[in-house]
Amino acid sequence: MGNATGRDLSQAERGRRPNDKEMLVLLKMQRALFRRLVASPEHLQLLQRYWTASFRRKHQMPGFVLVSDLWKEAGFSDPNPAADLNPMGELGLQCLVFFVETYPAETAMMRRGRGGYPFAKAAVAIVRSLSLTMHLMDTTGNPGPFPVTEALFWQLFERDDGFFQLFSLAFVAFEELFCEEVAANLWMRDVDACSMTVVDKLVAAVERKLTNELKKAPLKLSDLRHVCTNARYIVDKADENARAALGRSSSGSESSSVSRWSQHHTPGRKSMREVGKAWGKEKKEDAPRNKGYRLKPRMPEIERPRSGSLQTSGATSDAEVPSPPLTDRKNVEVEDDGAQNQAASEPTEDLFAGLVTKATGSDDSKSSESAAARSC
C-alpha cells in the first residue's frame, strides 16, 4: 500500500480498525440504518418526540397524529413522515430527533417557510453520505465492512452519540453552503424549496470537506471545528453534553457502588476496624432463652394425710382426702390420655397403712369418753 509519491504508508498513516467499544457503537448504528420504520411503540415514540420538539413553542401544541399537514410545517415534504424517512430507516429518524431536541435554535433557523430546502430530505441525504463515509453501508445498499476497515477517525465513536454529533456538524455545514448557494443564485429565494438536485450537490460538497478533515486523524469532535463557521456551536454543545453525561455517570457509579455494598453489608455487621478495636473485649453473652411455651414434666402426686384424718384401721376415707387445687386440675387436663390411663390402672396403696400413733390412741379414747358422757 502506498501513496501518490510511491512511499509506503506507515501504520499511523493507514489508521487502525475500530476497537471493541467503537465496534459496538458502529454496529448499533448499522442495525438502526437497516431497520425499517414500522408502527412499533419505539418508532412511534421517536415520532412523538420530534412532534413535541417541533411544536412546543406554540401557544397550544396540537395533538400528535401520524398523518397530517402539520408534518409539512415540521420540515417534511409529505403529510406522512415515513415517505421521507424510509430510505434511511430508524437511523435517519434518530438523527433528526437528536438534532431538533439538542439544537432548537438552529432548527428554527434552518426550517424556512419559503426559499429554503426540504429539511427532512436533506437530513436523510446527509445520513446516507455519513453512512457511506463510515462504511456502515456500501454503494449498493448492503451492510458495509466497517469492522475490517482501517481508518483515522474511529476514535470519534468512543461515545454513543458520536454519529449523531457528526451528523449535526455536517447538517450545519450544509446550511452554510446553502446560504452561499442562495447568495449566488437570487432566484432561489422565490421558490418554496430547492430541488433535490441542489441538495445532492451541496451534500457532496459537505462530504468532501468532512473527508478532508477526517484524514487529519481527529481525536475528538472539537478537532472538526474548521469544517464550517458555525461548527463551534455544535462543538460547544457537544462538550457541554459530554460534561453533563460524565457527571451523571460518576454520580450513578457512586450510587450503584453504594447500593452493591449495601446489598452485601448488613446493618448488624461490624467493619474490620471496629472488630480490631473490640478484639478481646467482648462480653460473653448468655445463651438466648427460648420463650416459647413448653410443657412441664408431671411431678409425682403424693398426698400426705393430715394428723387428724388417720383412723384406727390405718386407712383414710374418701371424704377426708382433700381435692386437688385448680392449678393441678389444669395440669392434669393437659396430660395425654395414655398417661391418665396408665395412672388409673396402677393400684393405689396407702403408705401409712398399719401404723398406730399415740395421737391416734388419744383421739380414740377422747371420742369414747365423750360418747359415754352423752349416753349418761
pLDDT digits (tens, 9 = 90+) for 102-124: 999 999 999 987 788 999 999 99
Scored b (16 or more CB within 10 A) or e, 237-265 reads ebeeeeeeeeeeeeeeeeeeeeeeeeeee
* Residue 373 pLDDT level (bands cut at 50, 70, 90): low
Residue with grid cell 460534561, as numbered in its chain: 243
Distances (CA, A) of 223 to 149, 153, 166: 22, 11, 12
pLDDT digits (tens, 9 = 90+) for 214-272: 999 999 888 998 888 888 888 888 778 777 766 665 555 444 444 443 444 444 556 66
* Mean pLDDT confidence for 289-295: 49
- Compute φ and ψ for 336, nearest 5 degrees: -75, 160
Q: How far apart are CA 40 and CA 93, in angstroms?
A: 13
- Listed by start position, the domains of the chain span 11-251
Burial label for 329, CB within 10 Å (0-12, 13-18, 19+), is exposed
To the question of pTM greater than 0.85 for the whole model, the response is no
Query: What is the residue-averaged pLDDT of the chain?
Result: 76
Residue with grid cell 472538526, as numbered in its chain: 224
